[in-house]
């Protein structure tokens, strides 16, 4: 069954037949960067922000993206048009070091490999949004920024995968990670917010985390719906005083967290601040993405 359209260096095929050479340093060493996007009304949401972050991630590992934004966007459109997707799309962009040899030397690699994967976006069920999810505080520490900086959205995802494996083993839907100082940084694949005294608080970049596109967008939504939001160093002790919690990401938007390590958060149901931000997020998305993509109109 054709499940996704995959574009490898400009050639589109399906999930079963798309391949990259084993000597690609993306495969050998996780040397590459990526972005995850989704569409609303079949338009990639906040595409420029994702391009900017992709370029920043690439620069941080000494990699140049071999396409301009316009050419990249056209390639995404062509891949989406070929994808077996009736509704909204999940889009993953990957750029790796390219095909080299068994050596860390980037000089031995040719052109970077550019991959675009488009598959159906899996919407979070309304019931999950209404109930909220359970998360764990992971025993896996987030990468030290002086080792592999979490600000780099790299294909080197073992740190995240190990934390999430722990969450899955414990029946949870996400893993909250601490940094080397014991402060919370972020979750395995989302940013973390805690609500206390009516304020939405999230760890600062110095805690060692990915600057989430959704995290930034939520700050704008917070201003428009009148919720105070700020960066704050958060530790284990803060969990006990939290009235609400939520996570943010491109695919999960603003998603309430109602259980941490098996214990209910606040009243054990999504709270008013989280709901205001989740509703405000959707309202803003609807304003920005009212027009369907031209090819779909
Ligand atoms: N942190 C990590 C580690 C992630 O993988 C993601 C998902 N891309 C996020 C945060 C959320 O980022 P965004 O809002 O840009 O999707």
Where do the structural domains in the chain lie, given as residue ranges?
5-120, 126-285
Q: pTM for the whole thing?
A: 0.96
Q: What is the residue whose two structure tokens read 């704008």?
A: 220
pLDDT for the residue numbered 296: 39
Q: What is the pLDDT of residue 292?
A: 65
Burial of 210 (0-12, 13-18, 19+ CB in 10 A): buried
Q: What is the pLDDT of residue 1?
A: 44
Q: State whether the beta carbon of 203 lies less than 6 angstroms from ligand 1.
A: no
Determine which of 2-6, 20-24, 38-42 has the lowest per-residue pLDDT on average. 2-6
Whether 190 lines ligand 1, by a CB cut-off of 6 Å, is yes
CA of 71 to the centre of ligand 1 (A): 24
- Ligand 1 atom closest to the Cα of residue 150 is 3
Rounded to the nearest angstrom, the distance between the alpha carbon of 8 and the centre of ligand 1 is: 23
Looking at residue 290, its pLDDT comes to: 84
Average pLDDT over residues 68-80: 97
User: Which comes out higher in pLDDT, residue 297 or 165?
Assistant: 165
Which element (helix H / strand E) includes 248?
Answer: strand 244-249
How far is it, in rounded angstroms, from Cα 256 to Cα 271?
8
d(CA 49, CA 250): 12
Ligand 1 pocket residue status of 214, Cβ below 6 Å: yes
Would you say domain 5-120 falls under CATH 3.30.470.10?
A: yes
Distance of CA 107 from the midpoint of ligand 1 (Å): 30
Q: What is the pLDDT of residue 17?
A: 94
Is 250 strand, coil or helix? coil
Residue 125's CB: how many other CB atoms inside 10 A?
Answer: 9
Residue 95 near residue 63, CB atoms below 8 Å: yes
CB distance 35 to ligand 1 below 6 Å: no
The fraction of the chain above a pLDDT of 70, given in percent, is: 97
Mean per-residue pLDDT, 12-41: 96
Shortest-distance atom of ligand 1 to CA 210: 1
pLDDT score of 7: 98
Mean model confidence pLDDT for the chain? 96
Asked if domains 5-120 and 126-285 share a fold, the reply is no
- Collect all residues with Cβ–Cβ distance below 8 Å to 4 and sequence separation of at least 6: 14, 15, 83, 84, 117, 118, 119
Q: Residue 250: CB within 6 Å of ligand 1?
A: yes
96/29 Cα distance (integer angstroms): 10
- The string of pLDDT tens digits covering residues 250-266 is 999 999 999 999 999 99
| Distance set, CA 165 to CA 91, 169, 176, 209, 261 (Å) | 23, 6, 12, 19, 15
The answer to whether residue 88 scores a pLDDT higher than 60 is yes
Instruction: Point out the residues that are catalytic.
Output: 153
Q: What is the largest CA-CA distance in the chain?
A: 57
Instruction: Report whether residue 210 contacts ligand 1, using a CB cutoff of 6 Å.
Output: yes
Of the candidates 138, 141, 125, the one whose C-alpha atom is nearest the C-alpha of residue 164 is 138
What's the rounded mean pLDDT across residues 186-206? 98
**In the predicted model, is pLDDT for residue 204 greater than 80?**
yes
126-285 CATH: 3.20.10.10
pLDDT at 117 over 70: yes
Report the nearest atom of ligand 1 relative to the CA of 191.
10
Q: Quick check: 294 pLDDT over 60? A: no
Residue nearest to atom 5 of ligand 1 (CA): 189
CA atoms within 13 A on the CB side of 97: 27
**Ligand 1 centroid to 236 CA: how many Å?**
22
Distance 202 CA to ligand 1 centre (A): 14
Does 163 sit in the ligand 1 pocket, CB within 6 Å?
A: no
Residue with tokens 């941080």: 60
Q: Which atom of ligand 1 is nearest to the CA of 251?
A: 16
């Amino acid at each position: 069954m054709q499940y996704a359209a995959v574009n490898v260096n400009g050639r589109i095929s399906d999930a079963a037949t798309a391949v990259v050479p084993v000597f690609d340093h993306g495969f050998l060493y996780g040397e590459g960067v990526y972005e995850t996007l989704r569409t609303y009304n079949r338009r990639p949401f906040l595409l420029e922000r994702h391009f900017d972050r992709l370029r920043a991630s690439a620069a941080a590992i000494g990699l140049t993206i071999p396409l301009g934004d316009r050419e990249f966007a056209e390639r995404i459109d062509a891949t989406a048009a070929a994808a077996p997707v009736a509704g909204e799309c999940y889009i993953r962009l990957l750029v790796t070091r390219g095909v080299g040899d068994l050596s860390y030397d980037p000089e031995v690699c040719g052109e970077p490999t550019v991959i675009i994967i488009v598959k159906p976006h899996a919407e979070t069920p309304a019931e999950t949004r209404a109930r909220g999810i359970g998360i764990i505080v992971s025993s896996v520490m987030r990468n030290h920024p002086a080792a592999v900086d979490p600000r780099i959205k790299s294909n080197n995802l073992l740190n995240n995968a190990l934390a999430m494996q722990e969450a899955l083993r414990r029946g949870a839907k996400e893993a909250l990670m601490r940094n080397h100082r014991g402060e919370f940084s972020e979750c395995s694949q989302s940013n973390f917010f805690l609500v206390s005294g009516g304020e939405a608080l999230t760890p600062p970049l110095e805690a060692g985390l990915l600057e989430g596109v959704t995290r930034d967008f939520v700050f704008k939504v917070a201003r428009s719906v009148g919720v105070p939001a700020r960066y704050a160093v958060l530790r284990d002790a803060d969990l006990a005083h939290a009235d609400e919690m939520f996570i943010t990401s491109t695919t999960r938007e603003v998603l309430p967290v109602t259980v941490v390590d098996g214990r209910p958060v606040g009243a054990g149901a999504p709270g008013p601040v989280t709901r205001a931000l989740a509703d405000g997020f959707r309202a803003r998305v609807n304003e920005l993405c009212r027009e369907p993509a031209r090819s779909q109109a």
